[in-house]
Amino acid sequence: MKAVNAVSNYLRASFEELTRVTWPTKQQAVKISIIVLIFCLVAAVVLGAVDYLFGQLYSYLVNLKF
């Protein structure tokens, strides 16, 4: 019975907390989403460039003749 009480209390507290949340407006949500997408694109470009450079360096080192 303790486990059922604990789960019940947890769910009640969770729903109560959701009523206190200040949800963003549609405009704020759109702005934040755009910022996240731009950050993801920049990160993808940077990581892609680093991967390409390491690939070129690896190819160069493999093809070295001693």
Per-residue pLDDT of 39-48, as tens digits, reads 999 999 999 9
* Structure confidence at residue 34 (pLDDT): 98
Helix (H) or strand (E) holding 27: helix 26-62
| Residue 39 burial (10 A CB sphere; 0-12, 13-18, 19+) | exposed
Q: How confident is the model at residue 59 (pLDDT cuts 50, 70, 90)?
A: very high
Q: How confident is the model at residue 1 (pLDDT cuts 50, 70, 90)?
A: confident
